[in-house]
A and B are shown apart, each in its own frame.
Chain A
Amino acid sequence: MKKRIAISPPVAAVILAVVLFLLSGLLPNGFGSNPDVAIPQALTIIRIAVFLGIIAAGQTLVIVSGGEGIDLSIGAIVTLTAIITYSIVSGKNENVLPALLVVLIVGAAVGFLNGVGIAFLKISPLVMTLGMSGVVSGLILVITQGNVSGSVAPIMTQLIARPVFLGIPGAIVIWIIFGLLMWLLLERTTFGKNLFAIGTNRITSRLSGVNVTRMVLGTYALAGLLAGLGGFLVVGNTGVVHIRIGDPFLFPSIAAVAVGGTLLSGGKGSYWGTMAGALVLTLITSLLTTMQMPESVRRMVLGATLLIMISIYGRQRGFRQ
């Protein structure tokens, strides 16, 4: 009877992030051990991680809901909503709220269509959302015809990219509040309880009175809505938009969920884990960039790190157990 030390994956991921950050001080071109340099560096990395973190929130919900749940349309939704935000806002502060409302509705609508295909037409989530991603990308080309005009409003840059409180950028404050809301949603509401229930076993959940179809529709719609929010924030941060702006978020959003210890088969996981996963991934990426590694080495290191991390705690149970 050997006792195993159990560290929960989110904690492990955070520890990993901190260790990596401290170690990076030793590397040439690393982040430095001088606190005056290191703290702003750390804040910058967290700020970059916010966008992946919020986009991965929808992915977390969809993956927790089980039934091979996954959302490959998130990247395309981020691009679409970023472009919509950009053209509606057109540099005017008073257009920001209407734009936010529109992108949330658009994101939710796309997500809802995913849900319809999955719940009613029994298309597997991977393929349905993959197809939807193609449709949305096509739609983006049709709408923009290759050029987007507009701009973000000063208030967006102010709130998202600049420090708002004790030198902490607004994006980080938004993320902390967002994280609390996600925790409430998952742990303190009926929706959350049902979500874990359908993720564990859809048949028993249905028999105990959960409306599985409605849950699936709601989950995918919510995932779309959160991707829409992500698109809004991304464009608010960068201030410019292009027709592939969301693509780099798609697979990292899944990786962040997996690194955060959420089971890809559903029914188990947390948003804290995803936040930690987003931090780790962003940290590794920016470390490799700062060290001026060529693109090829960066990809290899990222792939190897991911493999090592999921080998540590992403293993499924063996057959003999």
Chain B
Amino acid sequence: MKRLNWQNFTYRNPYLFALLLLVIAIVVNFVLQPNLFERSTLNNNMRVFLPLIFLSAGEAIVILAGGIDISIGAIVSVVNALLATQIGLKGDPGQAVLWMGIALIVGMVAGAINGFFVAYLRLQPIITTYATSFLYAGVALFILPNPGGGVPSEFTAFYRETTPLGMPLAFFLIFFILLAWYATRQTRYGRYLFAVGGKVDAAYETGVPVSAVQFSTYVISGLLAAFGGIAITLLTGSGNAGIGDALTLQAITAVVIGGTILSGGRGGIAGAIIGAIILGLIRNIISFANVESWWQTFVNAAIIVLALAMPGIISLIRRKRA
């Protein structure tokens, strides 16, 4: 009886484990870095986490609806290459806003290409977005063959130093994403997302426009990847056509740590955002714990695997006891 309750509880609160992990990560980080909650440190951290937060939120929606998008890193690279070459180190704000708008459209178009192949041609998502990731990475390299270019330092300063009401810019952006997400969940579209991810055949038979819903998730993911690309460009201030390569798999990890299951139908954006923050905090902890540099990759990966294994270990122990 008790076990059933536990299962019910974790099923209803997929973020629970992620929240627990977040608290642990924050506490450990705070012990190692006592000024963690000071304004400047907080802002420092959040502006570094923000690109991955955008990507994870987009990836979460795709995964929730039963797909996967491994081209988001390449979309980030395209956006970065585009901004670094078109705005340039001497660009003016008007031009910059224009190109950021274009970057968002580019992200949506890239997402729409993914969505078209997956939803309407019914190709398998992982191999399709793998193929398109090559396509987009090629485009990024075409625009910017060698690392270089960038955006004016006033823009990076704006991204780095803007703290409305004394809080990091990222907090407001996260708040807007979550607000949009909770509003969406109340709509018919929001329920369609869960239906398509949960049982696609049943959704189709009950009249859910499955293809349109799947298509839309890739467009949203492309758009959020473009936002991530803008954020990372403003963070680094420079152009590099390979900048997004490592982000795709991190975003997927963040989504899973956040309690969204890869087969779809369960989870959400809040968990993914928490997951992205946890990944960032783990990296912080490792650098503050003076782990020897050769060990850092290993320790980082081991902690992540342990975090992924934890829910499984808990339920194994509970099953043994029952």
Residues of A within 8 A of B (CB): 68, 70, 72, 117, 120-124, 126-128, 130-135, 137-139, 141-142, 145-146, 251, 254-255, 258, 264-265, 294-304, 306-307, 310-311, 314-319
Report the minimal beta-carbon distance from B18 to chain A, rounded to whole angstroms.
14
Query: 17 more A-B contacts (CB under 8 A) besides A139-B298, A300-B142, A318-B122?
Result: A68-B262, A121-B313, A127-B262, A137-B301, A138-B298, A138-B302, A251-B130, A255-B130, A264-B124, A264-B127, A295-B141, A304-B131, A306-B127, A306-B131, A315-B122, A316-B124, A317-B122
By the criterion CB–CB under 8 Å, are B121 and A126 in contact?
Answer: no
Given contacts A134-B304, A310-B123, contact A145 B141 (CB under 8 A): no
Of the listed stretches B34-42, B89-97, B132-140, B149-157, name the one at the interface; the rest are far from the partner chain: B132-140
> With A and B bound together, what is the CA distance between A141 and B299 in angstroms?
11
> With A and B bound together, what is the CA distance between A120 and B3 in angstroms?
18
Closest-by-CB residue of B relative to A130 is B249
Which residues of chain B are near A137, meaning CB under 8 Å? 297-298, 301
Given contacts A255-B130, A304-B135, A319-B201, contact A296 B305 (CB under 8 A): no
Report the minimal beta-carbon distance from B226 to chain A, rounded to whole angstroms.
19
Given contacts A123-B308, A297-B142, contact A303 B121 (CB under 8 A): no
**B126 at interface, CB cutoff 8 A:** yes
> With A and B bound together, what is the CA distance between A126 and B142 in angstroms?
30
By the criterion CB–CB under 8 Å, are B131 and A121 in contact?
Answer: no
> With A and B bound together, what is the CA distance between A319 and B141 in angstroms?
38
By the criterion CB–CB under 8 Å, are A264 and B126 in contact?
Answer: yes
Given contacts A124-B263, A128-B308, A318-B122, contact A299 B128 (CB under 8 A): no
**B252 at interface, CB cutoff 8 A:** yes
Could you say which of B68, B137, B138 has the most chain A C-beta atoms within 10 Å of its C-beta?
A: B138
Closest-by-CB residue of B relative to A252 is B130
Given contacts A127-B262, A297-B138, A299-B137, contact A141 B298 (CB under 8 A): yes
**B23 at interface, CB cutoff 8 A:** no
Which residues of chain B are near A297, meaning CB under 8 Å? 138, 142
By the criterion CB–CB under 8 Å, are A138 and B295 in contact?
Answer: yes
Which residues of chain A are near B309, meaning CB under 8 Å? 117, 121, 123
Tally A-B pairs: CB < 8 A.
156
By the criterion CB–CB under 8 Å, are A299 and B252 in contact?
Answer: no
Which of A117, A254, A302 touches B127 (beta carbons < 8 Å)? A254
Report the minimal beta-carbon distance from B252 to chain A, rounded to whole angstroms.
7
Which residues of chain B are near A265, meaning CB under 8 Å? 124
By the criterion CB–CB under 8 Å, are B127 and A310 in contact?
Answer: yes
Given contacts A68-B262, A126-B252, A316-B123, contact A299 B313 (CB under 8 A): no
Report the minimal beta-carbon distance from A284 to chain B, rounded to whole angstroms.
11
By the criterion CB–CB under 8 Å, are B132 and A303 in contact?
Answer: yes
Given contacts A141-B297, A303-B135, contact A127 B253 (CB under 8 A): yes
**B103 at interface, CB cutoff 8 A:** no
> With A and B bound together, what is the CA distance between A233 and B11 in angstroms?
46
By the criterion CB–CB under 8 Å, are A146 and B127 in contact?
Answer: no
By the criterion CB–CB under 8 Å, are B138 and A296 in contact?
Answer: yes
Which residues of chain B are near A141, meaning CB under 8 Å? 294-295, 297-298
Can you give 19 contacting A-B residue pairs, CB < 8 Å? Answer: A68-B262, A117-B312, A120-B316, A126-B252, A127-B252, A130-B252, A131-B304, A133-B301, A135-B302, A137-B297, A137-B301, A141-B294, A141-B297, A303-B134, A303-B137, A310-B123, A310-B127, A314-B123, A315-B123
Which residues of chain A are near B300, meaning CB under 8 Å? 134, 138
> With A and B bound together, what is the CA distance between A139 and B302 in angstroms?
10
**B171 at interface, CB cutoff 8 A:** no
By the criterion CB–CB under 8 Å, are B135 and A315 in contact?
Answer: no
Report the minimal beta-carbon distance from A21 to chain B, rounded to whole angstroms.
22
By the criterion CB–CB under 8 Å, are A254 and B263 in contact?
Answer: no
**B261 at interface, CB cutoff 8 A:** yes
Residues from 50 to 90 in B contacting A, C-beta threshold 8 Å? 68
By the criterion CB–CB under 8 Å, are B124 and A258 in contact?
Answer: yes
**B204 at interface, CB cutoff 8 A:** yes
**B315 at interface, CB cutoff 8 A:** yes
By the criterion CB–CB under 8 Å, are B132 and A131 in contact?
Answer: no
Closest-by-CB residue of A relative to B133 is A303
